[in-house]
């Protein structure tokens, strides 16, 4: 894909809220979701964000405003998930986005018809936008790996330089923004030489990640080459990989996380297409002195445009602050460009042994942290394992999450000469550990 008229910053929409400064969803974005009106028994169906509204793709298809492949794509998006649309391939995804761009631009003669398909975002509820077959969570931030290893008196494992480390996560507990997250229970060891205890997690954490949804997969036994890997991504979202640090520290040797990660993963509702993000691709490089990847994880395009400059922010709001109507306190800000491995490299390595990805498969980027403390993507880094609590405002501090806390992620892209592209909000609230029956 190359830059085209849909990236033109001078183009505006007839919907004024889409033209407002700081808007997450201008004409140049058009991310997709699955929604219905709040409190209704309506069927779940696909929608596209524009300003503070949602274009109901089922209603738009019925209006006859879209033609040919764009109409076929809109029809596929009338389902309760976006998998059928993703299965049509990149040509259909682009046709739908370009068709919507034309209909929502100020020059559109069909504006009165399209306006009748709009649903206010404030009046909608959202569902996980795809049927996720498999979920793979990576570990690809060198800054995060170094910070966490130092706290344990360890070095980053040698394989980190050579491959994108990952584990397979749990699909059944993946939810959408607004998810209520029960504090997990499990085994942990308070004394390094003592007997483990069982009970509610005492060191609950968030992990700031980007989620990538696979649009088209590959045949089993046919690896995806790095040069083509980005073409297999349908869109990106914000992902919170909730983590129970005390349970994780005890259970993860030798096979990796289990109960510490399987209790909840929260996604933002909107899938921002890679076409919308083209202006924000950036170079990917390795720090001086670090090993260069093996040949199957190296490509000219990956070095030139394999990374994405997605700016990310974590905020926290306590139950008391929420009750008082206060705003969440920003804890950290960073960028996805810091990641040690690119999304393309994750896909190339994932399939290199013959694994077949399928439409709707979810990849988590792993915690996204930058080189400074203020760019930490998790509390375990920000607070040095709770020994240096973070100020969350109004006289409260946090080493790890407490019951009632709401974690808020935001993401956006900005670059001179282009329109700001936003990801919306990903938020989730911690509830007390459930009592067994």
Domain boundaries defined on the chain: 5-127, 135-431
Question: Is the pLDDT assigned to residue 296 strictly greater than 80?
Answer: yes
Q: Is the model more confident about 435 or about 344? A: 344
User: In this predicted structure, what is the pLDDT of residue 378?
Assistant: 97
Residue among 315, 352, 351 nearest 331 (CA)? 315
Positive or negative CA dihedral for 55, 57, 63, 66? positive
User: In this predicted structure, what is the pLDDT of residue 43?
Assistant: 97
The string of DSSP codes covering 24-57 is SS-TTT--EEEEEETT--PPPEEEEEETTEEEEH
Kindly report the CATH number that applies to the domain delimited by 135-431. 3.90.850.10
Question: Is the pLDDT assigned to residue 1 strictly greater than 90?
Answer: no
| Structure tokens that stand for 67 in this block | 């033609």
Is 429 assigned a ligand-binding role in the annotation? Answer: no
User: In this predicted structure, what is the pLDDT of residue 260?
Assistant: 95
Contact yes or no for 27/49 (Cβ under 8 A): no
Q: What CA–CA distances, in Å, run from 281 to 289, 309, 347?
A: 24, 6, 17
Is 367 assigned a ligand-binding role in the annotation? Answer: yes
Rg (C-alpha) for the chain, rounded Å, is 22
Mean pLDDT of 295-302: 96
**Mean pLDDT, rounded, of the chain:** 96
Q: What is the pTM of this model?
A: 0.97
Question: Is the pLDDT assigned to residue 152 strictly greater than 80?
Answer: no
Is 209 assigned a ligand-binding role in the annotation? Answer: yes
Is 265 assigned a ligand-binding role in the annotation? Answer: yes
Mean pLDDT of 21-35: 97
Catalytic: which of 61, 144, 232, 427? Answer: 144
Number of H helices, E strands in the chain: 11, 26
Is 261 assigned a ligand-binding role in the annotation? Answer: yes
Q: Is 168 tagged catalytic?
A: no
Mean pLDDT of 19-44: 97
Question: Is the pLDDT assigned to residue 344 strictly greater than 80?
Answer: yes
Question: Is the pLDDT assigned to residue 379 strictly greater than 80?
Answer: yes
CATH label, 5-127, candidates 3.10.150.10, 3.55.50.30, 2.30.30.230, 3.90.1150.10: 2.30.30.230
């Amino acid at each position: 894909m190359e830059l085209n008229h849909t990236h033109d910053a001078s183009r505006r929409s007839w919907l004024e809220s889409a033209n407002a400064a700081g808007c997450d969803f201008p004409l140049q974005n058009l991310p997709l979701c699955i929604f219905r009106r709040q409190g209704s028994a309506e069927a779940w169906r696909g929608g596209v964000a524009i300003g503070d509204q949602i274009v109901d793709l089922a209603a738009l298809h019925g209006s006859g405003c879209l033609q040919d492949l764009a109409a076929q794509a809109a029809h596929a998006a009338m389902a309760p998930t976006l998998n059928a649309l993703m299965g049509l391939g990149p040509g259909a995804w682009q046709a739908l986005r370009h068709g919507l761009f034309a209909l929502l631009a100020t020059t559109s003669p069909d504006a009165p018809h399209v306006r009748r398909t709009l649903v206010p975002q404030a009046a909608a509820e959202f569902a996980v936008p795809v049927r996720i077959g498999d979920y793979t969570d990576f570990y690809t931030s060198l800054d995060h790996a170094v910070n966490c290893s130092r706290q344990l008196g360890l070095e980053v494992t040698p394989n980190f330089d050579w491959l994108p480390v990952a584990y397979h996560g749990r699909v059944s507990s993946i939810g959408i923004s607004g998810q209520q997250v029960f504090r997990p229970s499990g085994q942990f060891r308070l004394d390094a030489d003592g007997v483990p205890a069982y009970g509610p997690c005492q060191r609950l954490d968030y992990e700031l990640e980007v989620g990538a949804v696979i649009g088209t997969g590959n045949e089993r036994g046919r690896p995806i080459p790095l040069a083509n890997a980005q073409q297999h991504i349908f869109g990106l979202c914000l992902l919170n990989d909730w983590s129970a640090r005390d349970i994780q520290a005890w259970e993860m040797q030798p096979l990796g996380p289990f109960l510490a990660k399987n209790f909840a993963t929260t996604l933002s509702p909107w899938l921002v297409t890679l076409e919308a993000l083209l202006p924000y691709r950036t170079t990917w490089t390795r720090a001086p002195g670090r090993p260069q990847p093996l040949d199957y994880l190296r490509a000219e395009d990956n070095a030139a445009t394999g990374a994405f400059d997605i700016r990310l922010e974590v905020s926290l709001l306590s139950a008391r602050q929420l009750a008082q109507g206060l705003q969440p306190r920003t804890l950290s800000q960073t960028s996805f460009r810091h990641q040690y491995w690119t999304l393309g490299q994750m896909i190339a390595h994932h399939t290199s042994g013959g694994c077949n990805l399928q439409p709707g498969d979810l990849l988590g980027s792993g915690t996204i942290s930058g080189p400074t403390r203020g760019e930490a993507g998790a509390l375990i880094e920000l607070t040095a394992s709770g020994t240096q609590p973070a100020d969350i405002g109004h006289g409260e501090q946090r080493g790890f999450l407490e019951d009632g806390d709401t974690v808020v992620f935001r993401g956006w892209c900005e670059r001179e000469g282009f329109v700001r592209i936003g990801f919306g909000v990903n938020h989730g609230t911690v509830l007390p550990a459930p009592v067994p029956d």
